Amino acid sequence: MVYKNSAIILVALEQELPRATLPGWRIVYTGVGKINAAMTTANVIREFAPDSIINFGSAGALRGDLKGLYEVTVFKQRDMDATSLGFALGETPYDDIETISFSCKGLSCGSGDSFVDSMPDLNTDLVDMEAYAIAKVCKVMNTDFSCFKYISDNANENAANDWTSNFRNGAKAFSSMINEDH
């Protein structure tokens, strides 16, 4: 197959973006969580040497005014908590990379290995389970990165039911946006 460009789209689950949704694009599924996302991203960069990585997936909104598809440009690790050692919430001890920020305007996302159904302590616009890990690997491996998240829920007591009902709706919005841009 000839791909439209050398960008690779990383998505946690096939149900979020089936390959048939974007024929001509290389889509790789990472699995859920930061470790799966980091391993897959590193392997994809080593194997394919893409010009860029695009992460797409679902996210919970921490603001009531967010609905639909958004670009995310600031990434935090919401489940890193070494505050008892004097580090800020989200800061990895003795690591030079904390918050990852790209130059364009967009929303912030806190990634962690837990599904969010109540307000987390770390302040961000969105929550997910993979974006920070993918962004960090891209930053370390000097690979261009962009990220788009579809709001599937409001990270509240209804989050699990809302996510189950809504996460598949993002594929259409993302495919329309990416086909417009490329």
CA distances from 107 to 19, 63, 125, 148 (A): 26, 11, 6, 10
pLDDT at 17: 95
pLDDT at 182: 57
In the chain, the amino acid numbered 82 is A
Per residue, what are the HEC states of the chain? CCCCCCEEEEECCHHHCCHHHCCCCEEEECCCCHHHHHHHHHHHHHHHCCCEEEEEEEEEECCCCCCCEEEEEEEEECCCCCHHHCCCCCCCCCCCCCCEECCCCCEEEEECCCCCCCCCCCCCCEEECCHHHHHHHHHHCCCEEEEEEEEEECCCCCHHHHHHHHHHHHHHHHHHHHHHHC
Compute mean pLDDT per 10 residues along the chain, 182 residues long, and list them.
Answer: 71 95 95 97 96 94 92 94 93 89 86 87 93 97 95 83 82 88 62
For the chain, domains (ranges, CATH) are 7-181 (3.40.50.1580)
pLDDT at 82: 94
pLDDT at 81: 92
pLDDT at 134: 98
pLDDT at 2: 42
Strand partners, 52: 7, 144
The Cα–Cα gap between 77 and 31 comes to 18
